[in-house]
Structure 1
Amino acid sequence: MMLLAGNFVVGWVVSFLGSLPPGVLNLTIVRVSLRQGLRAALEFALACTLIEFLYGYIAVWLTEQIAPFAFFKLLTDGFTLLLLLMLGLYYLRKQSSRPTPADRTATSAFGLGLGLSVVNVAAFPFWLFYTVLLTRKGWVSLAGSPSVLVYVLGIALGTLTGLWFFVGASQRLNAILVAHLHRFDRVMGWLFVGLAIVQGLVLASNR
């Protein structure tokens, strides 16, 4: 029981701390909460949590299966670079506007969360690295399905907690953020482009 609890706590802590640096999902959930309300923000967060659970589980499996193959890493990094660049250009070219009442039903927050989380394939190397590190340090034991499931569940709930932290912060700073919400698309666009550049540098350094 203590082993399972340890797996959950470690997974949750690493995931929560990994969710705190400003990123695409954090900025998007702030935007969704202010434009479409708390229910939409919760739908977005749950979608991200679902994908994080799947990615975490796959990452644990890949740790022992195909992670050592260089082709897999090259394919993942190249796919990430392409998607980040495309998303960055999309948001930079998008016509920004101030929020209106119609925005509350304009898009599916759950679908948006699924889409952005699915293309966030950088979660693979993140969890591959930390899973290997945590198991080597002895902080996590993945011997058996229950221990793996609890560890991945901690990862998913850590992501949910981290995203909801930003929702709470956005509600407290509502007036300030709403006044500048129309600038979020540009911020997200440059963030995507910056991540694409970093990914390109990583790819070039590994060749």
Structure 2
Amino acid sequence: MQQLPTLFVFTFGAAFIASLPPGLLNLNAAKTSVEKGKANGIIFGLGVALAVMLQTYIAVRIAKLISRNQHVIEVLLQLALGIFFILAIVFFIKGRNQKSKPLMLVETKKRNSFSKGVFLALINLLAIPYYSGLNTVF
């Protein structure tokens, strides 16, 4: 339990460094700042930061569980193999049956900057395995 805060700090630091290059979240924060003002851009960034902290905490817990139990690793590998196999079949079928359809534009309501930041960061589910792997290395 004593190592948990240290691992969290190191993993969060790595997450901070990983989020510095331009990406979806950084460019959306810049776009929000330009379109809605500096305050909304900062609020968007705070929403992203909250979601990243949540993902980092989950990643630390997962890494701790995995490092303690070798059976979990075996189950995760089998589960991942099954999921990737199913996804491969689905995307091959979908790609084969795809026909071009005319695009229709639909207007959407403007969202709250904070909730938009949290949502965009949370849909990036690959962040949790990334942070978990970093935590395991640390």
TM-score where L is the length of structure 1:
0.44
Q: Quick one: which amino acid aligns to residue 32 of structure 2?
A: V
| Aligned equivalent of 2:129, options 110, 125, 129 | 125
Is 1:25 matched up with 2:29?
Answer: no
Q: Secondary structure at the match of 1:106?
A: coil
Q: Quick one: which amino acid aligns to residue 14 of structure 2?
A: V
Is 1:107 matched up with 2:114?
Answer: no
Larger Rg, first or second structure (1 or 2): 2
Q: Secondary structure at the match of 1:65?
A: helix
Query: How far does residue 32 in structure 1 lie from its aligned partner after superposition?
Result: 0.5
User: CA distance change for structure 1 residues 13 and 118 in 2, over 3 Å: closer, same or farther?
Assistant: closer
User: CA distance change for structure 1 residues 61 and 12 in 2, over 3 Å: closer, same or farther?
Assistant: closer
| Aligned equivalent of 1:70, options 59, 77, 80 | 77
Q: Quick one: which amino acid aligns to residue 48 of structure 1?
A: V
Residue in structure 2 matched with residue 36 of structure 1 by the alignment: 36
Q: What is the distance in 2 between the residues matched to 1:94 and 1:117?
A: 27
Q: What is the distance in 1 between the residues matched to 2:126 and 2:111?
A: 25
Q: Percent identity?
A: 28
Q: What is the distance in 1 between the residues matched to 2:61 and 2:33?
A: 34
| Structure with the bigger percentage of helix | 1
Listed as ranges, the matches of 1:90-101 within 5 Å are none
Unaligned runs of 5+ in 2: 67-71, 92-102
Q: What is the distance in 2 between the residues matched to 1:131 and 1:27?
A: 27
CA root-mean-square deviation? 3.2
Q: 4+ residue stretches of structure 1 with deviation over 2 A?
A: 3-13, 64-67, 71-76
C-alpha contact 2:59 2:128 (8 A) present in aligned 1? yes
Equivalent pairs, count = 109
C-alpha distance after superposition, 1:138-165 (max 9, x if no partner): xxxxxxxxxxxxxxxxxxxxxxxxxxxx
Q: What is the distance in 2 between the residues matched to 1:63 and 1:4?
A: 11
Listed as ranges, the matches of 1:158-197 within 5 Å are none
C-alpha distance after superposition, 1:51-97 (max 9, x if no partner): 11111111111113366212554559x6xxx9xxxxxxxxxx797xx
Q: Quick one: which amino acid aligns to residue 115 of structure 1?
A: F
